[in-house]
Amino acid sequence: MIPASDTARSEGSSGFAPAAPLELQHVTKRYPGQAAPAISDLSLEVAAGEVCVLVGPSGSGKTTAMRLINRMIELTSGDILLGGHSVLERRPNELRREIGYVIQQIGLFPHQTIAENIATVPRLLGWDRPRIAARTQELLELVGLDPDEMRDRYPAQLSGGQRQRVGVARALAADPPLMLMDEPFGAIDPINRGRLQDEFLRLQATVRKTVVFVTHDIDEAIKMGDRIAILREGGVLAQYAPPVELLTRPADDFIAQFVGADRGLKRLALTTLKDVKLIEPNGLAPSGRRVPLSSTVRDALSMILTAGGEPLTVIDDEDRVAGLVTLELVGGLLGKGGALASARGGDATVSSEDGESP
Amino acid sequence: MIALATPAVVIPTFGGSPSSYACERANRLFCANWVSRNWSSVLWPALRQHIVLSVVAVAIGFAIAFALALVAHRRRAVERPVILISGVLYTIPSLALFEILVPFRPLGLSARTAEVALVSYTLLILFRNILTGLRDVPDDVREAAAGMGMTARQTLWRVELPLALPSIIAGVRIATVTVIALATVASYICDEGLGVPILAAIQDGVFKTELITAGGLAVALALCADGLLVLLQRALTPWSRAQAR
C-alpha cells in the first residue's frame, strides 16, 4: 500500500481540492410529526485532512448527521459548509460525486466487475477510458489488492475484507476532498476488522482526506479518530474532543459511562511501546516472551498478565532488544503523575506526549 | 382452411408411385412421407406464421408491461390496479376472449384479434416479473448508487434494470411459452399459425399425422424459444454465475 502513496498524491486533476474543511453550523433535523428533533443544534468543525468520528448510542442520530452532509437527508435548519461553501447551494447529485461514501453493507454493484465498480464516479464525471483505467489500477494497489487478479472479478467472488477494500477504493476514485464512512467495518469479523482499521489508518496517512466516520463502537472511535464527537439521544453533541481528552477528561457522567469504566485500559491502547520509556535491558538476558515495539501498551499489559506477570522483551523492527516492559512500568504510567494519568483520577494533567494521534 | 388441409383429407392418386402413399392408405399413426410432401406447402408457412404471431405478441406485451412496471416502480399506487386488470384478462378463457373481440370493428376475424388476445395474456406475467426484479434490488446497492451521485434515471438504467434482468427474462420465458401454446387456438378466428393444420386434422378426425406433426412443431418451437432465452440470459448476466473462488 505504502509504495503507491506518491502516485495517489500526484493525482488530483479531478479538479477537487485534496481535502477540504467541513463545518456544521447549528444543524437541526426535525422529522414531520415527531416532537423531538433527530439532530439538535449540532455545530462542529472538522479540519482538512482530519478524521472526525461520530459515535453514540442508537437513537443518537449519528448516521442521520452524516447523511445530512451529502444531502441524502435534507436538514431542517442551520448550514453545512464544505470547503467554505454551503452544501445547500449545490445540486445533490453533483455534491455527492465530490464526496466519497462508504456504507456498512458496502453496496458494491453485483453486476459489475471490480474495475467497473471503482469507475462509477469517474464515469459519472465523464473521465475518458485511459484515465479511468489508470486510476483503477492505482486505487487497487493503494488498498492492497492485486489489480491484475481483481480487476475483472465480480463482487460475489471476493471475501468480505476484499469487498470492503473495494468499497473504499470506489469511494476514493474521484479523489474527493471529503469521505463519509458509515460503520464501514461493522460487518467484518473482529480479526479482519482490526486489520482493516490499521490499513485504513495507513491509507489515510497517505491520502489525507477529511473523513467523517460513524460507529457505535467507542474502541473503534478511539482508534480511528483525530477527534471524536459523542452524540446523545436526540442528536445533541455531548462532547467533541480528541480521544485522549475524552478518556482523561470526560465532560460529564454520560461521557464517562459511554467511554467505559475501562478508560484507563483504553488510554493504554492509544500509546505504543515506542512512546514509553522502557527499562534498560542491561545485563538482563532477553527472557522468553517478546513483543514488538509497535504494540500498544494495552497489548503488552495483556501479554504480561497472560504470562503470569513476567516481564516482556521488547523487540524493534530490526529484531534487536529495545528494552523490557513490566507490570510495574505499566502501572506507573496510569498512576498519579504518570504519563497517562486521568484528570479525574487525581491531580495529574495530560502530558503532551501521550499519544494524541499524529 | 379447407383448401390448405385438402392434401391430408383426400388421398391424391396423382404424382409419385402408389407405394409412397401406402402409409396414408393404411392410415398409420404417423406418415413421414406425408410430412416431407406437405412441409413447404402447409407446415413451414404455418410454423413461420406461428413464430411471427408469438414474437409480435411477446414484444408488444413486453413494451406495455415494461412501461407500466416503470411507473409502478416509482408510484406504488399504480401496482394494484394493473395487477387487478391484467389478472382479470389472464383468467378469461382464450376461446371466449377471441369471441368477445371479434365483433369490434378494427379487429374482426383477423390476426389482429389474435394478437390483442395473446398480448393480454402476457401482461400479468411480464408486469409482475419486471416489477419484482426492480423491487428486489438490494437497498444497500440503491443507497450506494444514490450516495455516489447517480440520478434516479442513471440508477434505473445502470443498476436496477441490469440487476432485474434474471427476473425479467424469467418472465419473458414463461410469457413466450404460454403464447406459443395459446397461439394454436388463434386458428379459430384467423388462418394463421400451427393451429391451422391442427384444426384441420381435428375436423378430419381420421388422419393423425398432421395433428401430431403440427402439435409437435408447436412444442419444439416452445422448447427452442425457451432455450434461446436461457442463452440470452447467460450472455447478458455473466455476473450471476460468478461464484466465490
Cβ proximity of A169 and A142 under 8 Å:
yes
Chain B residues inside the 8 Å CB shell of A112: 239
Minimal Cβ distance to B245: which of A94, A97, A157: A157
CB within 8 Å of B212: residues ≥ 6 apart: B29, B30
Residue B17 pLDDT: 56
Residue of A nearest to B152 (CA): A93
Q: Residues B232, B238, B243, B245: what is their CA dihedral angle, to the nearest 10 degrees?
A: 140
The verdict on a CB contact (< 8 Å) between B144 and A103 is yes
The x, y and z cell numbers of residue B79, run together, are 401496482
Chain A residues inside the 8 Å CB shell of B141: 107-110
Question: What is the C-alpha R_g of chain A?
Answer: 22
The verdict on a CB contact (< 8 Å) between A103 and B243 is no
Per DSSP bridges, beta strands A99-103 and A178-182 are parallel
Residue B155 pLDDT: 96
> Distance between CA atoms of B64 and B79, rounded to whole angstroms?
14
The verdict on a CB contact (< 8 Å) between B140 and A124 is no
The verdict on a CB contact (< 8 Å) between B148 and A94 is no
Q: Please give the interface size between A and B, counted as residue pairs whose CB atoms are below 8 Å apart.
A: 80
The verdict on a CB contact (< 8 Å) between B242 and A106 is no
In three-state form (DSSP H/G/I as H, E/B as E, the rest C), the secondary structure along B112-148 is: HHHHHHHHHHHHHHHHHHHHHHHHCCCHHHHHHHHHC
> Distance between CA atoms of B198 and B200, rounded to whole angstroms?
5
Residue of A nearest to B165 (CA): A111
Cβ proximity of A167 and A180 under 8 Å:
no
Cβ proximity of B111 and B186 under 8 Å:
yes
Chain B residues inside the 8 Å CB shell of A121: 148-149
> Distance between CA atoms of A348 and B157, rounded to whole angstroms?
62
3-state DSSP call for residue A321? strand
Nearest residue to A273 (alpha-carbon basis) of A296, A252, A246, A291: A296
Chain B residues inside the 8 Å CB shell of A111: 159, 162-163, 165, 237, 239-240
Q: Residues A109, A111, A113, A116: what is their CA dihedral angle, to the nearest 10 degrees?
A: -60
Minimal Cβ distance to A96: which of B140, B149, B242: B149
Residue A339 pLDDT: 65
Better pLDDT: A60 or B98:
A60
Residue B83 pLDDT: 92
Residue B188 pLDDT: 84
The verdict on a CB contact (< 8 Å) between B149 and A121 is yes
Q: Which residues of B touch A (CB under 8 A)?
A: 138, 140-151, 154, 159, 162-163, 165, 237-240, 242-245
Chain B residues inside the 8 Å CB shell of A108: 141, 144
pLDDT digits over B207-236, tens only?
788 888 888 999 999 999 999 999 999 999
Packed helices A327-334 and A297-306: angle between N→C axes, nearest 10 degrees: 140
Cβ proximity of A9 and A34 under 8 Å:
no
Alpha helix stretches (DSSP H) within B43-110: 44-74, 79-91, 94-101
Residue A287 pLDDT: 64
The pLDDT averaged over each successive group of 10 residues in chain A (358 residues) is: 39 64 96 91 95 92 95 95 94 95 93 96 95 95 93 93 94 95 90 90 92 93 94 92 90 88 80 83 68 86 85 84 84 72 45 39
Residue of B nearest to A90 (CA): B149
Per DSSP bridges, beta strands A51-55 and A227-232 are parallel
The verdict on a CB contact (< 8 Å) between A124 and B150 is yes
The verdict on a CB contact (< 8 Å) between B150 and A101 is no
Residue A124 pLDDT: 95
CATH numbers and ranges of domains, chain B: 49-128+166-235 (1.10.3720.10)
Query: HSE (CB half, 13 Å, CA atoms) of B61?
Result: 35
Q: Which class for A269: exposed (0-12), middle (13-18), buried (19 or more C-beta within 10 A)?
A: buried
> Distance between CA atoms of A249 and A242, rounded to whole angstroms?
10
The x, y and z cell numbers of residue A147, run together, are 489489480
Say how many C-beta atoms besides its own lie within 10 A of residue A76's C-beta. Answer: 15
| Alpha carbon distances (Å) from A10 to A18, A33, A207 | 10, 50, 10
Chain B residues inside the 8 Å CB shell of A91: none
Chain A residues inside the 8 Å CB shell of B245: 157
Chain A residues inside the 8 Å CB shell of B147: 70, 72, 96, 101, 103, 107, 180
Cβ proximity of A4 and A164 under 8 Å:
no
DSSP state of A240: E
The per-residue DSSP string of A110-176 comes to TTS-HHHHHTHHHHHTT--HHHHHHHHHHHHHHTT--HHHHTT--GGGS-HHHHHHHHHHHHHTT--
Burial A103-125 (b: 16+ CB within 10 A, else e): bbbbbbbbbbbbbbbbbbbbbbb
pLDDT exceeding 70 applies to what percent of chain B? 91
Cβ proximity of A34 and A61 under 8 Å:
no
Residue A2 pLDDT: 39
pLDDT digits over B16-63, tens only?
555 667 777 777 778 888 888 888 888 888 899 999 999 999 999 999
Residue A289 pLDDT: 81
The verdict on a CB contact (< 8 Å) between B140 and A120 is no
Residue A15 pLDDT: 56
Minimal Cβ distance to A103: which of B140, B154, B245: B140
CA distance B163 to chain A (A): 6
> Distance between CA atoms of B88 and B99, rounded to whole angstroms?
16
Cβ proximity of B239 and A112 under 8 Å:
yes
pTM of the model: 0.80
Q: Which of A73, A111, A162, A164 to mutate to test the interface with B (most CBs of B within 10 A)?
A: A111
Chain B residues inside the 8 Å CB shell of A157: 242-245
The verdict on a CB contact (< 8 Å) between A121 and B148 is yes
Residue A12 pLDDT: 45
